[in-house]
Amino acid sequence: MNKILAVVLLLVGMANVSWADGPYDYASRWKSWDIPTRTAYVDGVAEGVEAAFLTPRGNPAKKPPSEEELRIEEYKMDILKSGYALDRRKVVEVMTDIYQDPANSYINTVKVFVYAQDKIEGKDISKSLEDARRRAYDLHRLMQK
């Protein structure tokens, strides 16, 4: 719970940005954090994703599921969770690597978290990074109007 609170506070701090001087430099923020802070951020995002998307939701008025339904649901949850049972240190390393490229400085940290997971899974993230760079600059131009 403390990790989630820490991440929420970090996100609130990051949300309070001014676009007057250009797009927000997420890479500088990321690089200013020490390894424990980066790891806490990754833990919080991963736990938040799990809580938001992988925790079963039920209808209390509905009859309890059968044992077979419970086994199937548990199996589905195991499959879903396997994508988030990742080596958090590796995610921190890959995120840091992504932010080494100055062109990626303005990509939102949560997006970089997702791209890091994709890269760890062996996916080509170059198109995703290009799209994210373009969206960051488009958003900046939109905010200037």
Q: What is the pLDDT of residues 9-28, one digit of tens each?
A: 455 455 444 445 667 899 99
CB distance 139 to 23 below 8 Å: yes
Rg (C-alpha) for the chain, rounded Å, is 18
Tell me what the mean pLDDT of segment 117-128 comes to.
92
Decide: helix, strand or coil at residue 66.
Answer: coil
What letter represents residue 42's amino acid? V
pLDDT at 99 over 90: yes
- 48 Cβ contact list (under 8 Å, min separation 6): 4, 7
pTM confidence score: 0.65
What would the two tokens of residue 135 be? 């969206």
Looking at this protein, which amino acid is placed at residue 59?
N
